[in-house]
Chains A and B, each alone.
Chain A
Amino acid sequence: MNFLDLIWLIPLTPLCGAVLMLLVGKKLDPQPTSSVAIAPGVEPVGGSHAGGGHDRVHPHAPLKFLIGLICPGTVLISFLLSVGAVWQLSGLQYKIHQVIQFSWIAGLPFHLANGQMGTFQADWGFLLDPLSSVMILVVTGVGFLIHVYSIGYMAHDNGYYRFFGYLNLFVFFMLMLVLANNYALLFVGWEGVGLCSYLLIGFYYHKKSAADAGKKAFIVNRVGDSGFILGMLLMMSVLGSLRFTDVATMLHSGEFPAETAGFGVLSAMALLLFIGATGKSAQIPLYVWLPDAMEGPTPVSALIHAATMVTAGVYMVARSAPLFQLTPATSTIVAVIGAATAIFAASIALVQNDIKRVLAYSTVSQLGYMFLALGVGAYWVAIFHLFTHAFFKALLFLCSGSVIHSLSGEQDMRYMGGLKSKIPITYRTMWVGSLAISGIPFLAGFFSKDEILWQAYSSPLGSKALWVVGIATAAMTAFYMWRLMYLTFYGRSRVKPEVEAHIHESPPSMTVPLTVLAAGSALAGWLGTPKLWNLPEIFRGFENWLAPMFGAGEAAKEAAHSSGAEWGLMGLSVLIAIAGIALARFLYNTRPGIPDRIQASVGPLYKLLYNKWYIDELYDFLFVNGLGKGGGRLCGAFDRDVVDGGVNAAGWLTRFSASVSGWWDTWIVDGAVRLGSFFVKMLSYPVCILQTGRVQTYALFVVLGVLAIFGYYVTR
């Protein structure tokens, strides 16, 4: 079986699932008449929520289990097809395989920027190369696990079929995004995942906050997308093609020299594409939507807003590597934005109390790491971190979902604590995930984060400042993650008494994916061990697989640095991670009274962080109220006073001239006519007297006339 030519089936199978669900899903899962969807745990405590009874089948929906069979099944098929295709790809000499199914936009002629004629043309085509193969494995693999998890998590929700339909649709669009062979088709997937994100954030659409969060995500993403579109159009007009292979060939041909000195057209193009990436991947200044996106169901947060969709920006920038390699100025902007986002989001995560918000800001921060890596030219490292992050962040989100599930919907960590022994599987898997993200050696996060920090330090585009920011973020990451762990699982239970009675471990459909992801979080990093360790080639498989795509020059430069420095930095980052964990343990476990005292002594700083640096308020003030409402008022005033004023003035003038004209008509023209007729009437009165209507009068006239004529002749 030739999987390589069947890659079009990979996105198609989830699409089939989505279409099936959205068309006939309602038949399989009839909705109760009082159709207010119940969020997991938002359901009233002590009501129908019988402890442990989570595998119940809805009594009126005997076919509901089919949904849980079909939807994860389609993703599993996609995953198996992906594995087959990647396996065969690895056997090719040039690890690239392009399938063009058919032409989507057939050549429309237009003038290129240099005056030549070009054709605007886009295919419905798929490109499988090392980069997209990593992405499809992550999307389908993690996607499948999260689908399985959702079977248990969403079991009691209304709109079960709708949830799975959207989720499958999301997987379809995400696969279109990563398998597309040109920017236009990538953009189709890009917008499609944005749509699914909107639909799933607003899944509990009867909740105003969820509906608002969905709109916010959609609108903030539009800002970034406008940059992406402009970047694409610029690329079209300068390079004349949107196909990845053509773009790369053209940029490598030497026709466009690297813009080392100034900021030219390529830099602008790269910057516009990066603006698109900041929207989708939640970077400063467009990160504000991601924390609010936690209003969606937790599996959605795990799949879309942690593991896959938000990394689309990272993928897109890595895909545009030939462009970014020629534009050091933009690359520096990418690195700075990435580093700034990383530390900024981590600082907010330090003090948040909502378990999912901590993880949301953690995601923003880790995405910042990825952009830092992209900015310093370490493209494969960014993708490596994307890969490991997909495991441990999906794991952490699913664990938090499991915690929330067991606590009947409680998300505030101040009302948790002491859950360690009550939900042991969740605890153990989350423990692995937290160690992994903190950068403890031999777990996934350690390898990828350490490689990013090393690249930030040693790469020609990197600098010590970026490294310092990175290592500070690493310390904060360890601290906030273990603050979360200690608040949730250790210490005295602060759970509300009415919730306490219902605490239970989640069903197997949820714990099995957790276990698999925990294994992934522990082991995934071994594909990318540092070169320094001199392990067999297989342990550096990730670099060997991806790095050739981005040019082999990096490896040689790296070797020039002393190995002592690398060992030293690695040790330092491990120490810092352990210090962060220890500090969290000291503050939140050993001496739980201290945080309140610190909070009191640095009140303003705490408030600043707790309120997320007031960025939402600032945006509200500047854009929503300032530009939006103020501009609206200004436009309204302009419309009312100037545009309407002109119309009204013209109307008044017309009416005035009409009244003058009417006066003239009534009194002068009609007056003359009436006067004429009046005179005629006056003249007619004497004549009227003669016409008596009596025949004898007329006869008299005749006689008199005859007599007159006779008289005239006789007397003449």
Chain B
Amino acid sequence: MHPITTVHYLALSAALLLIGTVGVLTRRNIVVVLMSIELILNAVNINLVAFSHAFGADHVHGQVFAIFVIADAVAETAVALGILIALFRNKETVQADEIDLLKW
């Protein structure tokens, strides 16, 4: 049984990042897009926590930073959902590809 090392964490993080990015780029439902963004942010958090653990018990900056990111993600999601509801009231849709007013 191999011990879990930093590389494993980074691999998980990279996988999550990839999944999140693909989700953001490909899913049409904005709610899912927001969820994909959460995946990306959590990939970052895993990265931060993993490196914080790798540098030893004296270095907790990464963990603190991860907490900030979580708070930030909450606020961002709240704002995004608010915009989404306002958008839905006007456009009767949550499909990202149908919202393309800002073009020439």
Q: Which positions in A face B, CB cutoff 8 Å?
A: 688, 691-696, 699-700, 703
Contacts and interface: CB of A to CB of B under 8 A. Distances in A.
B81 to A, nearest CB: 16
Interface residues of B, number: 13
Interface stretch (B5-13, B65-73, B95-103): B95-103
A693 B96 contact: no
Which 3 pairs, one residue from A and one from B, show the smallest C-beta to C-beta distance?
A693-B103, A693-B100, A691-B103
Majority DSSP secondary structure for residues of A touching B: helix
B104 A691 contact: yes
Interface in B79-103: 96-97, 99-103
A695 B104 contact: no
A356 B25 CA distance: 125
A686 to B, nearest CB: 12
A593 B96 CA distance: 134
Interface string B5-33: 00000000000000001001110000001
Nearest to B101: A693
A692 B101 CA distance: 9
A696 B104 contact: no
A252 B67 CA distance: 136
Contacts of B101: 693
B103 A696 contact: no
A692 B96 contact: no
A696 B21 contact: no
Nearest to A688: B104
A245 B84 CA distance: 117
Contacts of A696: 24-26, 33, 96-97
A682 to B, nearest CB: 14
A564 B10 CA distance: 171
Nearest to B30: A695
A703 B25 contact: yes
B103 A703 contact: no
A695 B96 CA distance: 7
Contacts of A692: 100, 103
Given A694-B96, A695-B99, 6 more contacts: A692-B100, A693-B101, A693-B103, A694-B97, A694-B99, A696-B33
Contacts of B26: 696
B21 A703 contact: yes
A506 B103 CA distance: 114
A694 B100 contact: yes
Contacts of A700: 25
Interface in B47-70: none
A699 B40 CA distance: 13
Nearest to A704: B25
A695 to B, nearest CB: 6
Contacts of A703: 21, 25
Contacts of B99: 693-695
A693 B102 CA distance: 5
B38 to A, nearest CB: 15
Contacts of B102: 691, 693
25 contacts: A688-B104, A691-B102, A691-B103, A691-B104, A692-B103, A693-B99, A693-B100, A693-B101, A693-B102, A693-B103, A694-B96, A694-B100, A695-B96, A695-B99, A696-B24, A696-B25, A696-B26, A696-B33, A696-B96, A696-B97, A699-B24, A699-B25, A700-B25, A703-B21, A703-B25
A543 to B, nearest CB: 120
Contacts of A699: 24-25
Most buried by B among A688, A691, A694, A700: A694
Contacts of A691: 102-104
Contacts of B97: 694, 696
A695 B99 CA distance: 8
Contacts of B103: 691-693
